[in-house]
Amino acid sequence: MKWIILLAKIALTFLLAFSGTLLLTLLLALWFDPKASLIPLIFAQNAAFAIAACLAWRWFEKEPLERMGFFDPFPLRAFFRGTAAGVGLIGGVFLLLWLTPWMEVTGIRIDKASLSSILYAAAGFLVVATGEEIFTRGWLQTLLQKHLGAIGGMLTASLFFSALHLDNPHISNLSLINLFAAGVLLGAARLASGSLWLPIGLHFSWNWTQEIVSLPVSGLHMTKAPPVKAAETGPDWITGGPFGLEGGLGAFLVLVMGCWYFTRLYRKKNPQI
């Protein structure tokens, strides 16, 4: 019976999130043209998912929101640690591929347009990272952890995380595996840090770094004038092709390393696990 109740909670929360997305999108469309900018749609979707997660936690679990991972004694420090980790991981993939014939930097521009582009992308990806982490790692992983344990909850939430990207352009079997691995990485970072601030920073900079070098982020582009113009010329299964770096083998290897590090850190803090 408890599993039926759990599934019902998850289904109702997803329904609330998608309904909220539709409602907020329609409301924002009255003031903003969705064709002119992706920000209103991004804000609507992630705000709806974050609100649905918080409401579901309070309604169904009747526990304080701090249990979802909002509390951290040093939130900004945790966020910037995550930001540094994200830049290091995905930036390392880019630099390694740049040393091969499979990645080329074809141009660099530093002007008002490129500055506006990276600030625009930063705002968008910060919203994405916050909304997705509150929903997936804050609500879903914490909820599942109560029933499946820390590792089981993390792995199951990661499956949901990868499934949320099924409609992304240029999705492939390898990119789905990488999305699952990214979910594990972020989930392990949530466990190791004890809060959402580090995985939010990691998620944000992982995406933003790819946009800065003009590569797709999960098959999508947010800006038209990135400061660095890069081109993938190698096989898609290595570089990720039109899905972006996180669709290739290079990213998979880095993701596995990151998962190992944060899982090891979590086990060190919790030797009884």
pLDDT in tens, 60-69: 999 999 999 9
Alpha-carbon distance of 4 to 240, in angstroms, equals 39
What are the phi and psi torsion angles at 165 (to 5°)?
Answer: -105, 10
Single-letter code of the amino acid located at 35:
K
Sign of CA dihedral 153, 143, 45, 69: negative
pLDDT in tens, 141-178: 999 999 999 999 999 999 999 999 998 999 999 999 99
Single-letter code of the amino acid located at 12:
L
Of 19-33, 122-136, 217-231, which one has max mean pLDDT? 122-136
| 230, 264 contact by CB (below 8 A) | no
Alpha-carbon distance of 184 to 137, in angstroms, equals 10
Structure tokens at 59: 């309604």
Report in angstroms the alpha-carbon separations of 45 from 40, 127, 132.
9, 10, 9
DSSP-derived pairing of the beta strands 103-108 and 228-232:
antiparallel
Long-range contacts of 3-12 (CB under 8 A, 24+ apart): 3/147, 6/143, 6/147, 9/56, 9/60, 9/143, 10/140, 10/143, 12/56
- Please name the residues in contact with 128: beta carbons below 8 A apart, sequence gap of 6 or more: 42, 46, 203, 204, 207
Average model confidence (pLDDT) across the chain: 92
Tell me the mean pLDDT in the region 188-216.
96
Q: Tell me: pLDDT of 30 over 90.
A: no
Of residues 85 and 116, more confidently modeled: 85
- pLDDT of the residue at 175: 94
Of residues 102 and 39, more confidently modeled: 102
Single-letter code of the amino acid located at 127:
V
For residue 33, what pLDDT band results from cuts at 50, 70 and 90? confident
| 245, 93 contact by CB (below 8 A) | yes
What are the phi and psi torsion angles at 266 (to 5°)?
Answer: -65, -45
| 86, 217 contact by CB (below 8 A) | no
Domain ranges of the chain: 1-62, 72-269
Query: In 3D, which of 153, 159, 129 has the Cα closest to residue 141?
Result: 153
pLDDT in tens, 237-271: 999 999 999 999 999 999 999 999 999 999 888 77
